[in-house]
Amino acid sequence: MPAPVFRTLEGLAPYEETVTAMAAHAAAIRNGGAGEEVWLLEHHSVLTGGTSADLGDLVDPGDIPVHETGRGGQWTWHGPGQVTGYVLMDLRRGPGVRRFVQALVDSMTDACHACGVPGAVSDHDAMGTYVDGRKVGSVGIRVREGVSMHGVGLNAHPDPAWFARMSACGAPEVAATSIAAEGGNGDRVMVEDALAEALAARLDLAVDATR
């Protein structure tokens, strides 16, 4: 099978259109009509709820669009300053869902280290990357008929005020942080490149970058 293609989307990607395109591509992978891909991008501000999301955890959504989505997990924010990685892979050929999720978490941790945050650590059970208990990145995926959708959200340099709009992942006691806030380099291109390299290494892929 050809190596997955890494695509970097410039600007800010609209959430609904991107998720629709992702679902279409995942269906094509299942049917043998498309190859595996990783999309790296930033969204316009949006609050998304996973299959365990509780409306009571939306503290103050204001005028931010709210979408319920089929991925696992609870509420999360996507927007400017957060690098989102959608990982569309055929897990029917391995490595299995559990190892796949662990690799996604570890990829975010590796990217943090590469961007100057050596204190970042993985928490596989919580499906996230943390710095002294503060959450810098999250994993939320959906696997349908063996093909993965959604992926990771890694905070490069977002405005922290966005995270006050909801109880992230149903854990109000866990503060959000970012690579920049922890003293690292939160430049978008650097974070995207570091995350691509980390995903390629952790998932044993070859990076064929399209920027």
Q: Which amino acid is located at 98 in the chain? A: R
Q: What is the separation of C-alpha 204 from the centre of its chain, rounded to a whole number of angstroms?
A: 18
Q: Is a pLDDT exceeding 60 seen at residue 76?
A: yes
Q: What is the pLDDT of residues 171-182, one digit of tens each?
A: 677 889 999 999
Average pLDDT over residues 42-54: 83
Q: What is the separation of C-alpha 34 from the centre of its chain, rounded to a whole number of angstroms?
A: 22
Q: What is the pLDDT of residues 85-102, one digit of tens each?
A: 999 999 998 778 999 999
Positions marked catalytic: 169
Residue that has been written with the tokens 């999360």 in this structure:
76
- In this predicted model, which residue has the larger pLDDT, 57 or 199? 199
pLDDT at 66: 83
Q: Is 93 left (phi over 0), alpha (psi -120 to 50) or beta?
A: alpha
Average pLDDT over residues 52-57: 69
Q: Is 94 left (phi over 0), alpha (psi -120 to 50) or beta?
A: left
pLDDT at 168: 58
Q: Is a pLDDT exceeding 70 seen at residue 1?
A: no
Query: How many C-alpha atoms does 110 have within 13 Å on its Cβ side?
Result: 18
